[in-house]
Amino acid sequence: MANITASDVIEYLYCPRFIYFMRCLDIPQHEEKRYKVQKGRDIHLIKAEVNKNYLRKKLNVVRKEINVPLNSEKYNIHGILDEILFVEDGSAMPFDYKFAEYKEKLFSTHFYQSNIYALLIQENFNAPVNKGFVCYTRSSNLVKEMNFSAKSFSDTQSLINDVVKVIETGYFPPKTKSANKCPDCCYKNICVR
């Protein structure tokens, strides 16, 4: 079965056809590399300050691990998580940095990504994960808290299955529901709409 990344799911949520072009036809996005380098530089400067000033004391964090590679055989997914915070009560929480401004719509995408990290943490560390955080570095390091539930985990699992289906069967998925994404899309010239 195809093993996917948390980022694949983000791409799928942006437009289901991205996965088809990237993973079935092997056509990369041109902007991808530049974005990642930029993100890395920015976040490197910010991480220490956010942690020091915010979460550790407030949430009784006793330990953290950074840049943690995680793999799930159960869900066929892997990824590298910016930080895992371990709490006094034995639970753990994903903490992810985004080189982005906070926007409600974007947050719902990041919510699913964090659910994936939560599933990965549960499987790799055998610790309950009930909440997580995303830090928006371009909104003055705004930290948004999110709560996970049985429903959010099962929705996330369905999403993972949808992405795997495209990769494994070559299924050409429907286009994005937001047609306003298409004019700026790097695949617009090859995407039949």
Among 24, 127, 143, 182, binds ligand SF4 (CB under 6 A): 182
Residue 27 token pair: 């056509």
In the bound state with ligand SF4, the residue whose beta carbon lies nearer, of 58 and 193, is 193
23 scored as a contact of ligand SF4 (CB under 6 A): no
Strands 92-98 and 131-136, by their bridges, are parallel
User: How many residues bind to ligand SF4 according to rule CB under 6 A?
Assistant: 12
Stretch of 86-94, 98-106, 117-125, 182-190 contacting ligand SF4, by CB under 6 A: 182-190
DSSP label at residue 22: I
DSSP label at residue 70: E
46: part of which helix (H) or strand (E)?
Answer: helix 32-53
Q: What distance in Å separates the CA atoms of residue 146 and residue 150, rounded to the nearest whole number?
A: 14
Among 6, 13, 15, 50, binds ligand SF4 (CB under 6 A): 15
181 scored as a contact of ligand SF4 (CB under 6 A): yes
Among 39, 64, 131, 175, binds ligand SF4 (CB under 6 A): 175
**Least distance (Å) between residue 76 CB and ligand SF4:** 24
78: part of which helix (H) or strand (E)?
Answer: strand 77-87
Q: What is the dihedral of CA 180, 183, 185, 187, to 10 degrees?
A: 120
17 scored as a contact of ligand SF4 (CB under 6 A): yes
In the bound state with ligand SF4, the residue whose beta carbon lies nearer, of 18 and 133, is 18
- Strand positions, DSSP E, the chain: 4-5, 61-72, 77-87, 92-98, 131-136, 142-147
Interface contacts to ligand SF4, rule CB under 6 A: 15, 17-18, 175-176, 181-182, 185, 187-188, 191, 193
